[in-house]
Structures are given as C-alpha cells and as structure tokens.
Structure 1
C-alpha cells in the first residue's frame, strides 16, 4: 500500500490494529483515512504503541495517534517551534470536530 513506511520494525497497520480495542477501531480507522486524504505525500510510520503520520520523506510528523481504552490520544505538531498540542478523542465523538486541526498541521509542517 502506498504511503506506508517502515524503520526496520516490520510492523504494518494490519498487525497494529489487533491491539486496538474493537470499539475504538472505527475511530482510529477514520483518523487514518482522513490523514491519507490530506495528500499523496502522507506517510504512515507504524510504531510499537502508536501510528505516526508524516509529510513526505522529510519525515516531518504532523500527527501521532495512540489508541486508548476509550478513545485515542493525538499529538499534533504544526512546526518545530510551536509546542505540541495533545488532544483526546473519545470513541463516541466524531473526528469532524478535529479535522481542521489535522489539516492545519499537515499544511504547516515543514
């Protein structure tokens, strides 16, 4: 699949999603799908306990998404100079409340 990278850990999203609580998985999947729709240069780095979305091969990450028991914790980075913003989305919330934050981070990260 296009947009997926690995740093030697050989994990892919199919392996990773087995550790996401079943009732949180639809939320996690919708965040992931939204990130890929932001641009063709979005890359996914599947790590041990989270998935990081980067912009192009510069590996400037803009979203760090970690599943939790009742939702997801997201770290948003707009630039290296701005502080990282941390938000939590509960499984019953819609990501539409947060997509402008995601899009803004993607557009402004260099």
Structure 2
C-alpha cells in the first residue's frame, strides 16, 4: 500500500487525535500539523475518495480500516524511532522531529532490526 508522505502524516494525525477521546475535526488536524484549513480540506477530500477516512455530516473524521492500518504503522515507526534517538542522547524535541522525517523512508528490514534491538534492551 503506497501513498504519499503527506497523506501518511494526515492519517497519523487523525489517529493521534482520535486517541485523545474526542471527535477529530479538520481544524484539530490543521493545528496539529501546522497547515492551513484549506490544505486539510483538500487532503480530507482525497483521503475520503480513496477510502482511507470517513466524515460524518458534522465534519468528524474517522479512519477506515485501510487508513487505520497505515496510521498505526506510521505511528509505531514514529514512536520506536523517537525512543531509539532519545536512547542515543538526542533531546525529545529533536528526536520527535527527526523520527517524523525518518518514519516514511526507513526500510521495513531496518525498522524491524531497530525494534528487535530496542526490545532486547528492554526499551520498548
């Protein structure tokens, strides 16, 4: 399942916001990602058309199954890579920013080895 990096970021943001307990709205996504509301509106239209999300009549965004799969994969990569960088002594803010860049490009093989290494050390 190959989608653009920006779409992965939107799906991850929806996942993170949905875990906070309240409904996810476009304005929340715009605030979290630091993008304009029209950009979010356009992205939501494309994600909805491709079956990654659903929106109800009130504008509440929900991940569909295939959107949730991608969001969970990207979020796992983000958290594991952040932990790895912090374990190397990188401050949290920089580790999170760098993990956000790396999560899209690291190979599945490398990511699995990083996870195994952190698990062996008891860090995840």
TM-score normalised by the chain length of structure 2: 0.28
Identify, as 1 or 2, the structure richer in strand: 1
Identify, as 1 or 2, the structure richer in helix: 2
TM-score normalised by the chain length of structure 1: 0.31
Larger Rg: 2
